[in-house]
Structure 1
Amino acid sequence: MNLQEERLRNHLDGYPFTIREVRHEENGWYVLTDRGRKRIIYCQDENLIRWSHSWREYLVNQGFRHVERYLVNGQGEHWVSDSTGSYALSDYWEQDYGWSKRNELQMEGYRTFGELLAYIHLCFDSVEEVYRGRYRKKGTLNETRLKSSYRHLHTITKEIESRQRDTKDNWLLYNLSRVVERVRKAEALYEVSGVENDRTPLSFAHLPLSSLVYWEPCWYITGLHNPVLVPRHEDTVALLEQIHELSGTEGVNQFLSAYANVRRIPVSEKSYLLALLCYPLPILSGLESLSYSPGERKRITAGFQLQGQREKVLQCVTKIRALYEEDSG
């Protein structure tokens, strides 16, 4: 949407600082003030900006003050709304995860992010209102996708069986039976989780590691405005996979242990978390066509390799019993 500077200035007049310039850049709108540079947040859905405001203030109340909060204007409001949507103003830090390449900071960063994500999840544990706005999505797993996965795997299997096969075809045919087993396991866990019936709280569809920034000696949470919301733990899986790619199971265990120190995962959430990790998404993404050309074979092989990494993350998630509520079995 092309936001007009005049409209923005009208909303900014109520803030207790001098506006020197309103500027549009590649990553959005910013305002230069006598108290530094601020980010302008625009959201078409006021309920989503309220959701975002909630966890930011919750982190501050838990003692983590280095988070992009929505600044208060002269009327005591954290955001203002009109017919086009809602507007807020915040301090900000550019996304960067250079710390993840510094050995002395890696594990501390993973522990910090584990605690922060646990607090964000904890913030909404007691919230009964279900968000049903435009930014809500079904998530990776749903009944339609699971059924589609079975059909696609069946079609590929029949295609391979119907042609003259070579050694590589036999390898794929054998492994496809194991892929079906993983889909079946994910489906069973998904049904237990209750996600299909909207019983799982919502959280980020994706959470980049670059949202955690280190400016000595403090950690900062930046960005995460206007996120797509899906059933909880898609964000957990996204972070775990990013961490595993950089630091292997050691980093994953550091993150999970820190999360467990703040919050225990209930039974239904555990089922969905395991379902997400069991579901062979990397493999299925590589099986988009049936031509089985040399390029496709390379993509399929890469999918199996990525699934192997996901299996290692799954092992870590399964082993840390302190991560779950006691009655989770």
Structure 2
Amino acid sequence: MDKIDISEVCQHYRARVIRVTPLDDCYLVETNRGPKELHVWPRVDVMRWSFAWRERLAGQGFRELERFIRTREAKPYLVVGKRGVTMTDHLRHIEACSPGEDFARQSGRVVGMMHLSQQESPILAGDDYLKQEQMNAEAKWAQAKAVVESYRARYGKEKGEKRWVAELMTPLLQRMERSALMLSHESITPDAINVAHRDLLRDNWGMVNGKLYLRGFFRPQLSIQQRDVASFLRDLYLTHKDIRQVHAFLDGYEEVKPLQYSDYTLMLAFMARPREVWKSVESYVKRVSRNKEVSAASIEQALQSQQAVDQLLHHIADRAERSRSVGVDEPL
């Protein structure tokens, strides 16, 4: 938790502070006007960007989210040194969302509205974050190739489990290469790239007074909107194995913000990364290189998750093909 003078900060707000409790990601402030949360932002530009999209989203009619409380001077946030500070209401009673197509469609609409609100801000450039993703994908692919070459040279001809892992590496490298190439697909144009949170998750949703509530994003890691959608759909499908919820989310999203072929291409690029499988393989390789006891059980478990992701990829690719732009001939 960032150390700031809480008492000095709270003096800027129209509330009498009773008690302050440090939490993992904020300060819980009990006041005569109810419980509040005080958040410290490492980046002031991200705080300003977050304020802007929240206000635009509320202006679109969706007010079930955490908005910044204004100070005595009517400022929506404070800048203390090189950090930003915001105060929001603390909700004590947030219920879990009931999974299903209705929730998926509603959340899709809200995310579409949120993305429209975010892309209107000139504070952060989406193209910069796409370049970061492209460079990161290429770097991970290069690192993986080096790991594979080293492992194969030493264990590629052995029998049993070690050889099985060596054979598994070829399709993993192919997936990583494909993901990197899709991130630079010719259909992607700068006007289709806007900044969003890197990973939208189920934890960002709740029910408050019977209404869908959007929460969090106070210390966001940023990327582009297509990764936001890809992360949520991947998590949604791996949790429920229900493709109808995936399509319901996308239907709701497209009611507000239609998706182009390039959007689907980027979503598939992020989904195509064999994240869990490669992580488990990399861990296996490290233990082998240190002559430690190893087991491929975690790899086998990750492969089962990857099979579910592959099913999701197939459905998203089919949907993408149905929305293809005229003149794009390369299949996904």
Q: Same fold by TM-score, threshold 0.5 exceeded?
A: yes
TM-fit CA distance, 1:45: 1.8
The separation in 2 between residues aligned to 1:170 and 1:30, in whole angstroms, is 53
TM-fit CA distance, 1:61: 1.2
- What SS does the corresponding residue of 1:67 show, helix, strand or coil? coil
- What SS does the corresponding residue of 2:184 show, helix, strand or coil? helix
- Which residues in structure 2 correspond to 1:38-187 (within 5 Å)? 38-93=36-91, 98-99=96-97, 102=98, 105-130=99-124, 138-139=132-133, 141-163=136-158, 165-166=159-160, 172=165, 174-187=167-180
- What SS does the corresponding residue of 1:300 show, helix, strand or coil? helix
- What SS does the corresponding residue of 1:37 show, helix, strand or coil? strand
What percentage of aligned pairs have identical amino acids? 17
- Which residues in structure 2 correspond to 1:5-16 (within 5 Å)? 7-16=5-14
- Which residues in structure 2 correspond to 1:18-57 (within 5 Å)? 18-57=16-55
TM-fit CA distance, 1:20: 3.0
Q: 1:230 to 1:10 in 2, by over 3 A?
A: same
Deviation track 1:149-204 (CA, whole Å, cap 9, x = no partner) reads 233334444444322x23x5665555433333322322221222799x99832221
The separation in 2 between residues aligned to 1:200 and 1:235, in whole angstroms, is 12
- What SS does the corresponding residue of 2:79 show, helix, strand or coil? strand
TM-fit CA distance, 1:267: 4.3
Q: 1:193 to 1:57 in 2, by over 3 A?
A: farther
Tell me, yes or no, if the aligned pair for 2:115 and 2:196 is still in contact at 8 Å.
yes
Name the TM-score, length of structure 1 as normaliser. Answer: 0.82
- Which residues in structure 2 correspond to 1:187-206 (within 5 Å)? 187-192=180-185, 200-206=193-199
Amino acid at match of 1:276: F
Aligned counterpart for 1:213 among listed residues 200, 206, 209 = 206
Aligned to 1:306: 305
RMSD: 3.4
Tell me, yes or no, if the aligned pair for 1:264 and 1:322 is still in contact at 8 Å.
no
TM-fit CA distance, 1:244: 1.1
The separation in 2 between residues aligned to 1:3 and 1:48, in whole angstroms, is 19
Alignment coverage as a number of residue pairs: 319
TM-fit CA distance, 1:108: 2.4
The separation in 2 between residues aligned to 1:150 and 1:225, in whole angstroms, is 36
Q: 1:129 to 1:57 in 2, by over 3 A?
A: closer
The separation in 1 between residues aligned to 2:322 and 2:257, in whole angstroms, is 8
Q: 1:286 to 1:139 in 2, by over 3 A?
A: same
- Which residues in structure 2 correspond to 1:218-237 (within 5 Å)? 218-237=211-230
Amino acid at match of 2:249: F
Amino acid at match of 2:303: F
- What SS does the corresponding residue of 2:70 show, helix, strand or coil? coil
Q: 1:62 to 1:295 in 2, by over 3 A?
A: farther
Amino acid at match of 2:75: E
- What SS does the corresponding residue of 2:37 show, helix, strand or coil? strand
Tell me, yes or no, if the aligned pair for 1:95 and 1:223 is still in contact at 8 Å.
no
- What SS does the corresponding residue of 2:69 show, helix, strand or coil? coil
TM-fit CA distance, 1:308: 1.1
Tell me, yes or no, if the aligned pair for 1:96 and 1:211 is still in contact at 8 Å.
no
Aligned to 1:3: 3
Name the TM-score, length of structure 2 as normaliser. Answer: 0.82
Aligned to 1:297: 296
- What SS does the corresponding residue of 2:35 show, helix, strand or coil? strand
Amino acid at match of 2:64: H
Aligned to 2:232: 239
- What SS does the corresponding residue of 1:230 show, helix, strand or coil? strand
**Unmatched tracts of structure 1, length 5 or more:** none
The separation in 1 between residues aligned to 2:26 and 2:85, in whole angstroms, is 13
Moved more, 140-149 or 221-230: 140-149
- What SS does the corresponding residue of 1:220 show, helix, strand or coil? strand
The separation in 2 between residues aligned to 1:228 and 1:207, in whole angstroms, is 10
Aligned counterpart for 2:258 among listed residues 243, 251, 264 = 264
